A and B are shown apart, each in its own frame.
Chain A
Amino acid sequence: MRLTSLARLLGAALLTTAATSAMAGEVVVSAAASLTNAFKDAAQSYEAQYPGSKVSLNFAASGVLLQQIVKGAPVDVFASADQETMDTAQKEGLVLPADRHDFVSNSLVLIVPSDSKLAIRNLNDLTQKSVTRVAIANPASVPVGRYSEGALKKANLWDGVQAKAISTQNVRQSLDYVARGEVDAGFVYGTDAAIMKDKVKVVYEVPLEAPVLYPIATIKGSTNALEAKRFVDYLRTKPAQAILAKYGFKKP
């Protein structure tokens, strides 16, 4: 008796959740880890503007998000921290060229713990003996890792620094390791460094050959295409632009 009523209750609960998730109005947005704070804020203001709408945010390294989408994750909008990842998405037929555009830009910076006593002022200083650990995101799946690797290679420092590299899963992990003082220095975006101003300090803005441009796109075959497009368009509006700017993102 008890069991059957429990089963009924469970069944009803499951049905309700299934029904809500299938309801129109929910957009699943997969966004680069560096967009975490800004997108949480922007999604809130979007939901306030369109009552009944719901934005589900999924943050990780862009490469990881891409793999999820490739393997069939039900994602409606994808924002990556580099062109390469979005290019792959396009090549895989997940994104149409017409549906993507660059919406913000960022900078690559070298940070150290704010109480660091090491003399790190530029990339060259990373080769000093006193510098033993440098947080660099894994270039295979994280854009900031590729930007960092590229800059170090261009400066002919990659071989020297690679041995000290602590490979991280995404840019926020690099930020966390520097903030905790577990590493001597790390590569993150300017916007990441800004959210932990009390714990890390920027010692060098790394010049890059190509700027850090974030593309955003609706995913082809999204079951919620209209809503997805409305969210992407919303990010172009004044209030959304103000939120992105508040977190340090620049116009592309």
Chain B
Amino acid sequence: MDIAWTALALSLKVAAWATALNLLLGIGTGYLLARTRFPGRDLLDAILTLPMVMPPTVLGYYLLVLLGRRGTFGIWLQEHFGINLIFTWQGAVIAATIVAFPLVFKPARAAFEAVDGQLEQAARVLGISELAIFFRVTLPLAWRGILAGVLLGFVRALGEFGATLMVAGSIPGKTQTLSVAVYEAVQAGQDEVANKLVLITSLVCIVVLLAAGKLAPGRIVHK
């Protein structure tokens, strides 16, 4: 298959996995921080938001040192599961997940905080279980805010470059995502390849943004 399409398929795969992971993690931590109070909550929030403000190279370095063959976590993974994440597409998923996480978690927390507590209270009075309240009352009410974050997280994961390059490298067909392929093509002076890749990337981003507009309609326009 052509290098551009291979890279596109890989980018979509990595972004999809990262988004799926962030959907669980973002909703989980967003809900936790919105609904519970504990010492160090603000600090935890700050730490979880760090990937948004830190340079991707810093994250990439952290990951390389942690997950590498000589990293604490890397050694543990290798010994217990025989897994090595560096230079694999799964490694790229981890990088993309972490980078995009704050974009999912922050809006999720805000969305949960905006849910009217009286509605949950009403459900509770009606004797509905806490789990059912979450899935049938809270989540549907917070869903639009969460979805907006999830879509942003998806495009961020799709475009991840710095941390991915450091952790997953640039192996064509294995870890060479669209953004990395663009970088490689420009470096090698292959402008034709670069043009094609850039065009594809731009189109994909436009499609995602249009889809985002369709999925999360409304704002105040229809009022």
Residues of A within 8 A of B (CB): 61, 63-64, 66-67, 70, 133, 138, 140-141, 165-169, 180-182
A67 near B187 with CB under 8 A, answer yes
Given contact pairs A167-B170, A168-B169, A181 touches B187 in the complex (Cβ within 8 A): no
Residues of B within 8 A of A (CB): 64, 68-70, 86-87, 165, 169-172, 184, 186-190
CB distance from B176 to the nearest CB of A (A): 8
Residues of A within 8 A of B170 (CB): 138, 167, 169
Interface of B is mostly: loop
B68 near A181 with CB under 8 A, answer yes
B64 near A67 with CB under 8 A, answer no
A63 near B68 with CB under 8 A, answer no
A140's contact among B64, B68, B70, B188, by CB below 8 Å, is which? B188
Assembled-state Cα–Cα distance A160/B189 (Å):
27
Residues of A within 8 A of B186 (CB): 67
CB distance from A185 to the nearest CB of B (A): 13
Residues of A within 8 A of B169 (CB): 166-168
Assembled-state Cα–Cα distance A140/B165 (Å):
17
A sample of 30 inter-chain contacts (CB < 8 A) reads A63-B187, A63-B188, A64-B187, A66-B189, A67-B187, A67-B188, A67-B189, A70-B189, A138-B170, A138-B184, A138-B187, A138-B188, A140-B187, A140-B188, A141-B184, A141-B187, A165-B171, A166-B169, A166-B171, A167-B171, A167-B172, A169-B165, A169-B170, A169-B187, A180-B64, A180-B69, A180-B70, A181-B69, A181-B70, A182-B69
Assembled-state Cα–Cα distance A138/B172 (Å):
11
Residues of A within 8 A of B165 (CB): 169
Residues of B within 8 A of A166 (CB): 87, 169, 171
Given contact pairs A181-B68, A182-B68, A61 touches B171 in the complex (Cβ within 8 A): no
